[in-house]
């Protein structure tokens, strides 16, 4: 039986990593086999520091490095887990690149999508939870900014609007979850979406 692919998206500081971990734990508590993973670094572990802590990169090089990592992530981690019947919960996936390198950095969305089709084999999540938070609040939560987090408020305003535009374009896949609420309330909202759509609850 093929597994289910779930992703969590949102601005840095929106609580994705916390919610991904809580979601994985909740699924495991229901007797499901779960693979918790993340990007960048899910496919090529060394690329995370290069992208987030290294020297400045052109937007194009940045995206191609994210894509190389994603190609390996899909082939080494996500697809094998899905084929083995696991529920895969990923903290970020392709939508992060569309929002950050597309809407934020200004790269061509058709080019991003053309590269992504080859890198991912057109693999899409069954559901994507967008943890939506005003950029001012999200950045205020970040304690140790990485290279992308240092790009400033206007950049993150564009990224947030990009995420919301992606969600409007695919309402059947995206579930927008207000992330300003307490952690447990956000977690319950995510589980409520799963209960209604996938019979988990």
Q: Residues marked as binding?
A: 10-17
Write down the pLDDT at residue 197. 61
Pairing of strands 174-178, 87-91: unpaired
Place of tokens 């992504």: 116
Q: How many CB atoms neighbour CB 137 within 10 A?
A: 13
- Which of 130, 38, 140, 148 minimizes the C-alpha distance to 88? 38
pLDDT tens-digit series, residues 34-56: 999 999 999 998 888 888 777 88
Write down the pLDDT at residue 153. 86
Question: Which residue would you say has higher pLDDT here, 152 or 37?
Answer: 37
Write down the pLDDT at residue 199. 65
pLDDT above 60: residue 201 = no
What integer best gives the mean pLDDT of the chain?
Answer: 91
One DSSP character per residue, 26-49 reads HHHHTT--EEEEESSSSSSTTHHH
In terms of average pLDDT, the best of 35-49, 110-124, 135-149 is 110-124
Give the whole-angstrom CA distance, residue 17 versus residue 10: 10
Measured between its terminal Cα atoms, the distance across the chain in Å is 20
Pairing of strands 34-38, 87-91: parallel
Q: Residues marked as binding for ATP?
A: 10-17
Domain annotation for the chain: domains and CATH numbers: 4-198 (3.40.50.300)
Question: Which residue would you say has higher pLDDT here, 59 or 1?
Answer: 59
How does residue 149 score in pLDDT terms, banded at 50, 70 and 90?
low
Give the whole-angstrom CA distance, residue 186 versus residue 73: 27
- Which of 181, 83, 120 minimizes the C-alpha distance to 189? 181
pLDDT tens-digit series, residues 13-32: 899 999 999 999 999 999 99
pLDDT tens-digit series, residues 65-96: 999 999 999 999 999 999 999 999 999 999 99
Give the whole-angstrom CA distance, residue 68 versus residue 52: 15
């Amino acid at each position: 039986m093929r597994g289910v692919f779930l992703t969590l998206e949102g601005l840095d500081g929106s609580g994705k990593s916390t919610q991904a971990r809580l979601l994985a734990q909740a699924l495991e508590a229901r007797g499901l086999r779960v693979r918790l993973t993340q990007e960048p670094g899910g496919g090529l572990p060394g690329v995370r520091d290069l992208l987030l802590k290294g020297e400045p990169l052109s937007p194009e090089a940045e995206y191609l490095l994210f894509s190389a990592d994603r190609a390996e992530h899909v082939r080494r981690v996500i697809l094998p887990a899905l084929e083995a019947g696991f529920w895969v919960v990923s903290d970020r996936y392709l939508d992060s690149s569309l929002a950050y390198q597309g809407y934020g950095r200004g790269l061509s969305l058709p080019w991003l999508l053309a590269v992504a089709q080859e890198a991912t084999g057109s693999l899409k999540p069954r559901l994507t939870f967008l943890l939506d938070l005003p950029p001012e609040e999200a950045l205020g939560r970040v304690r140790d900014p990485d290279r992308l987090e240092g790009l400033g408020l206007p950049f993150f305003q564009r990224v947030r609007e990009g995420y919301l535009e992606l969600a409007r374009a695919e309402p059947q896949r995206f579930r927008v979850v207000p992330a300003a609420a307490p952690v447990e309330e956000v977690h319950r909202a995510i589980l409520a979406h799963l209960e209604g759509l996938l019979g988990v609850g």
